[in-house]
Amino acid sequence: MEAITLPIYNAEGKEVDSVKLNTHVFDGVVNSAVIYQVINAYRANHRKGLAATKTRGEVSGGGRKPWKQKGTGRARVGSTRSPLWRHGGVVFGPHPRDFSYTLPDKMKAVALKSSLNAKVLENNIIVLDTLKLSAPKTKEALKIFTNLKLSTPKNKKTCSVLLLTDEISADLKRALRNIDFLTFNLALNTQTYEVMAHKKILITKDGLNKLTNRLK
């Protein structure tokens, strides 16, 4: 496959350069089956599994036989904590369990490649030359997203954006953390669920290089 070329924008939203994507990573192949498996595993690994019920041996009471076995005309009962009785134990209720399981690293890499390829084919990846703010303030960061047409005026729906950079300083984190439509992470640490959960991916040039080196 011929290498895909993406434009590189500056903080003012102007195209300043272009970059050819590595064909070993951005080969245009989207393996939706692997993406599905990896996302399922990611969500399963985040389940708490704390739901719990008590069996008839765990609920309080029920030590004495309610009435004698024969002669009363009533059904025989050995405990008032039978599952058939009110306040009785639960027969097949849930108990604390671990839902997590592991997948091969190669499968995770294929899923991440496929998710990135899907975003490229949808024209939903934007490359930024560098991310530098004149001051560690949210309004300064919002100017960049507005220039890149990733932010809209108030009371209008804004698409979700994932920002991937090569490094995140304390000042940058302070400026970005209050933007409701934005999630940010290091490009080296991103994963399939994060990529697929956002409409647009904004990645710095250095972050793209590090991500490519990680996957190729």
Q: Specify the pLDDT at position 1.
A: 66
**Residue 92 and residue 186 in one domain:** no
Give the model confidence (pLDDT) of 31-78 as tens digits: 999 999 999 999 999 999 999 999 999 999 988 999 999 999 999 999
Considering the domain architecture, whether residues 53 and 116 belong to the same structural domain is answered as no
Query: Can you tell me the distance from the alpha carbon of 78 to that of 89, in angstroms, rounded to the nearest whole number?
Result: 13
Residues in the chain: 216
Q: What one-character-per-residue DSSP string does 70-81 give?
A: SSSSSPP-S-TT
What is the CATH number for 195? 3.40.1370.10
Element (H, E) at 142: helix 138-147
Is 90 exceeded by the pLDDT of residue 207?
yes
Q: How confident is the model at residue 157 (pLDDT cuts 50, 70, 90)?
A: low
| pLDDT confidence bin for 135, thresholds 50/70/90 | confident
Q: Give strand pairing partners of 9.
A: 15, 128
Give residue 90's domain range.
48-98
pTM over 0.85: no
170's CB contacts (< 8 A; 6+ apart) are none
The yes-or-no verdict on residue 194 having pLDDT over 80 is yes
**Which tokens hold the place of 24?**
């070993």
Q: How many domains does the chain have?
A: 2
**pLDDT given at position 154:** 60
Q: Which helix (H) or strand (E) holds 163?
A: strand 161-165
CA atoms within 13 A on the CB side of 91: 5
